[in-house]
A and B are shown apart, each in its own frame.
Chain A
Amino acid sequence: MTTPTNKKVAPKRNTSTTANPFSAWWNQQASAIKFSMERLWFNPASTWITLAAIAIALSLPTSLHLLLKNMQTLTADKREVPTITLFLKQSVSEQQAKDRAELLSELPEIDNVRVVTREEALADFRKITGFAQTLETLDANPLPHVLILTPRLSLLGGEDMDVEDLSKKLKAYSEVDDLQIDVEWVQRLRGILRIAERIVLVVSILLGMTVLLVVGNTIRLDIENRKEEIRVTQLIGATNAYIRRPFIYNGIWLGLFGGVLSLVIVHVALLFLVEPVTQLAKLYGSTFTLSGIDVLMTLQILLASSVLGVIGSWLAVGRYLWQSDDAIK
């Protein structure tokens, strides 16, 4: 015989209403999350306007950053990159040219070396319309062997860009007749990009502060509307943490959803750009494609926007609680 268990145990007379601290904490979080979510839909129009403001403020630095990143990959693209062209002396044989190329590719400053023999150069030259006939009139090939060097990019990016030193060194080889350096534009572009990076940083900070202010102001208005509620909850024993909690979650949602919306905006803008960019790249004979937002960057943006939301609402609630604390005193 099993003893029948009485499921409905008479409630304990217990004046303390708190359960164990962890479940109390969890219950408070859960109800704050639920409440703050409902609050978002309490006034959908104003929520959407706030989200749009946040999203636009966030999408500007994001797209600037993308632009910059794309320009950096453009200069890092091997095919696009700068070269040093070595014109060898007429007396140098093809074998000597290839040997020199082998040796050069061992140098730390050099990424790779391509040999263009005079025959290849002539063939290339012939392809260019209008020159074929001119070339017919010559009895010998006037072109030298050429070595095309790609310097290591780290060398170009470094503070002490020893391109000068490198060119001196290259010129000293007995086979070399002349050389042409085609790296200056990259160095200049990189310089410009470094400035652009700073600009993006400044813009990001300013617009981050805008997000902070938008969230802060939205929360401040919400507090203003719910003053009575805050006062009543304070009278029945709400801690500052309890009062703060739903507002903080509200700030998180505004930041997070604003971030999501900004990602949507940037993605749409990218889609809008993809076609003309590929066309332009094709004209330059490049396979360059726009790089978009990867997973890591997505997470970074969402994290940053949520953190901004938290800070904004924390400041707004903190200011209110600080004032009301003084009022009670």
Chain B
Amino acid sequence: MIEFKQVSKKYPTGQLALYNINLTLEAGEMVFITGHSGAGKSTLLKLVAMLERPTKGEVLIGGRSLSKLGRSQIPNYRRRIGFIFQDPHLLYDRTVFDNIALPLRIAGMGQSETRRRVQAALDKVGLTGRENTFPLMLSAGEKQRVGIARAMVNKPTIILADEPTGNLDPELAQDIMFTFAQFNELGATVMIASHDHALVERMKKRTIVLQKVD
């Protein structure tokens, strides 16, 4: 499903984030990416989401190289991906409902279907009844869960999460990891970058450790 072929990424600043990565993920697999900060975990995820392009090598999704994707095809490709950021990047002038509905609105989905899907997503992350709340009134954990609901709501085939539990208490972090596992069981390919070793070990999934290159 996701394949890295001799991928290197060097930022314009001269920083070498990834060097010669070869990695294959099967469809429906769930993997953790760990490693020290600065080891390139975020960069790896960004390459899949096409937020960055590799300087060498290629990333293949479903057998197709991302480098062959034209600029106009990127939006469509991104709709198949749910990206969860460490900071959930919510829109603070809109309700929880509108935040979660965003990907569906981008896809042009009708009102009733949107409502149904958003409710289902809220239900899944345990925020039922909070749809008319504004993000400022939510706790960090709740915000993170809104971010997850937004990433899930259009049933993406690939889920990428960059330190999704970074600033959550352990219990909540565990809950959220289980939510990801649930999505994985429903068929999504999941990649999670995390430095929380204890938590990663408890999940008993394939773990990829990135070494810092110097």
Contact = CB atoms under 8 A, between A and B. Distances in A.
B105 A31 contact: yes
B107 A24 contact: yes
Most chain A CB within a 10 A radius of its CB, from B53, B79, B103, B106: B106
A228 B155 CA distance: 24
Interface in B82-140: 83, 89, 91, 93, 102-111, 113, 116
Contacts, number: 82
Chain A, interface residues (CB within 8 Å), range: 20 to 34
Interface stretch (A13-21, A116-124, A265-273): A13-21
A234 B75 CA distance: 7
Interface string A120-150: 0000000000000000000000000000000
A232 B154 contact: no
Contacts of A4: none
Most chain A CB within a 10 A radius of its CB, from B93, B116, B150: B93
A237 B71 contact: no
Contacts of A238: 75, 106
B129 to A, nearest CB: 21
Contacts of B184: none
A11 interface: yes
Contact of A328 (B51, B77, B154): B51
A325 interface: yes
A233 interface: yes
Contact of B78 (A23, A25, A228, A236): A236
A231 B156 CA distance: 19
A231 B93 CA distance: 15
A17 B150 CA distance: 13
B13 interface: no
Contacts of B111: 27
Given A235-B49, A235-B89, A17 B107 contact: yes
B18 to A, nearest CB: 18
Contacts of A329: 53
A126 to B, nearest CB: 84
A27 B109 contact: yes
Interface string A6-39: 0000010111011100011111100100000000
14 contacts: A14-B155, A17-B107, A17-B154, A18-B107, A18-B109, A23-B108, A231-B89, A233-B102, A235-B51, A237-B79, A237-B103, A237-B106, A239-B72, A325-B71
